[in-house]
Structure 1
């Protein structure tokens, strides 16, 4: 508003001078038009500011929270009783001490040096009044497998999955992948799914027709990215083969410096869907029965086909 005031005054004066010359008014009479010009422009500016602020307030937490109806979802479930294993680059120091968080590192140092894990965690759990998490009451098992250089060894991924299973994860979120399959990881994922654990993985951000592993596995929930215009994000790998295309473009999250940022990727969409599945599983457990992997996949496919909204799918669990 402070920036607009001098602009309004200048425009008002210009309008006044215009009326002065146009209508041939002199002396004291022209002041009325200067005042009138200032008043008219001021009113227009104020209405613009009010409208802009109202529009911005609607999107305080980002377009994806409105699109998926976070507030309405949270009236039904919040992720309580679910454990999400976040296999990523670890957490920042301001995240690791949360009472519903377990942080483990399988590489050098516990704290996130990359920022990727910090962002994913904030999308699931939220951050203060800045970020609204999709599953604020879910427990998080953060397993650091990636350092600043982003190099990840298959043996570390395998160890992370084994650790997640041992610690009782109900959902394993993998916002990472490779074009190379690994048989040992593949067998471990199949065994874990048979135990009732849900795997969620990103399709990839390389604009390729080929999906990354392990997202390409049959019973792994593969996630592509949706943009705010409700079109598939251009960078999404194998979009037509994904289980679901979920919000992943220009998503509000928190960085390792505690600053809000807007980032894009199938990773963001994967974290959000991992949290959403926690809501699904909580609702099913509240109704006295667990949902198997195939039923969860069918629900997500129904959302993807626009047969159900995220809220409708959650409410349909009886």
Structure 2
């Protein structure tokens, strides 16, 4: 295992949903250690709490992407998007490392009972939003659902410039950083779970090239920062794009493909490095507002274990590759 430091001890003093990832990717723990911690996610802490909130019909909060109406809660008076419905809950459980066996029967229940708020479409068929479909593709593959038709949807709905845009349904012909990253995360998760296809790999690589050509940060037309949101880091990530979240994907994709970090990531890596505090932590940004089941990270301005984990992992991957190249 890697040498223990105060920062590493602080990261390890966390919920099993985070701890097992720290053990595996930062502490260098042997598989039997981090796998044992990962197995606890379904029975302790965040994972167990969220599993306990599942409805008998397989859903969370009675809805696919948005919760069903609740007496005493006026949706129009709520700030932001509610994050408690089925898709968001499944995504959290998957990303926290819950074993699909802990949700035995959920896929079939959702097939029978869950419909999209958009056009009442069947849940596992997806709908028209790239970001929503990216989560659904990943979640379906995780739970063993045949979501191959939904995977093919991404090939059919790529923009001419190589990425994706949720506004395609309104006629957009240009990709969005947000939509492209969400689509790429879904495609990679599907590929890891199922092996994917040549067509899906080509689509993923083209989407990644769309972001790499822009160095994860800039517009192709003017070379200016695509938006201030690209430089803001907050956990949970939700659907929002940031340089840190994009680097997290590109790292995972490069490791999956067996390729070194692309040099065009340098500006984004520098941005993440500059955001690191003197004590090695990253501070929580402004989290997207909205109803949650429970908080999983600290308030804005406080040191975030989740962001510190993601930032540390990205920099370790980048820096280790630079050392390997130099000698």
**What TM-score do you get using the length of structure 1 for normalisation?**
0.27
Which structure: greater strand fraction?
A: 1
Task: Between the two structures, name the one with larger relative contact order (CA 8 Å, sep ≥ 6).
Answer: 1
Query: Could you say which structure has the larger radius of gyration?
Result: 1
